[in-house]
Amino acid sequence: MKRAVDLAVAVIGLLVLGPLLVVLGVLVAATSPGGPFFRQVRVGRDRRPFRLVKFRSMTVRAGSEQGSFDAGDTARTTAVGRVLRRTKLDELPQLWNVLVGDMSLVGPRPEVPKWTEVHREAWDRVLTIRPGITDPASIAFRDEESILAASPDPEACYRDEILPRKLAMAEAYIRDRTLGGDLRILAMTVAALAGFGSSRPRGGSATADPGQCDR
């Protein structure tokens, strides 16, 4: 049933949002050198790598599509990219990843290979299901970029503070997941993007504590 819902929403979403996707793609390509899309190697179900696709929000840098990750680095973010990232519109092309079976609408966010080697036992449990476009951790850490940018050691902040909490929330989601719960998470994601963040995702707080990485 979950896969059927994923397919239905991905097909309808791509058809309905097609004109918007074209407009956003043209804006990205026209305002900075490089194509409209950014593809990066992520680790999926059963540790199978796949190429996640999203609208490019940063200037092109050699090697970035192979899986590098610059925690908290916003120096290369373009003007259009800042808007796309703030509104999460850069994630819309991942409906394609859902359509072809790499991802689900709801599930733990996929990571680059580097970070799936950290806390490996937890990742082995999390990677038993398809990763998703959104999940409780995505809602709780929707301001993750600003938290990392403000940290004196973004790598350590992500590795030691944020990632363990994300994994704990992912494992809680896996234990308790239901179709109704997925629909609730989708609704909470839309509400969070619209500025209504009062609901608490299961397994964690509604927003991450920015002070957790100050030390």
Q: Per-residue pLDDT tens for 149-158? A: 888 999 999 9
Count CB neighbours of 87 within 10 A.
Answer: 12
CA angle 119, 184, 176 (to 5 degrees): 45
What would the pLDDT profile of 44-77 be if each residue is shown by its tens digit?
Answer: 999 999 999 999 999 887 655 555 556 656 678 8
Which among 188, 92, 70 is positioned nearest to 140, based on CA atoms?
188
Residue 48 φ then ψ, to 5° = -80, 125
- Give CA–CA dist 133/110, Å, rounded: 8
What would the pLDDT profile of 156-175 be if each residue is shown by its tens digit?
Answer: 999 999 999 999 999 999 99
Instruction: Please check whether residue 89 is in contact with residue 24, taking contact to mean a CB–CB distance below 8 angstroms.
Output: yes
User: Max alpha carbon distance in the chain (Å)?
Assistant: 47
- Give CA–CA dist 103/129, Å, rounded: 9
- Give CA–CA dist 138/132, Å, rounded: 10
Which among 92, 72, 90, 93 is positioned nearest to 81, based on CA atoms?
90
Q: At what angle do helices 18-31 and 79-87 cross, to 10 degrees?
A: 150
Check whether 198 has a pLDDT greater than 50.
no
Whole-number pLDDT of residue 145? 86
Those residues with Cβ within 8 angstroms of residue 167's Cβ, 6 or more apart along the chain or in another chain: 108, 119, 122, 123, 126
Three-state DSSP state, 62: coil
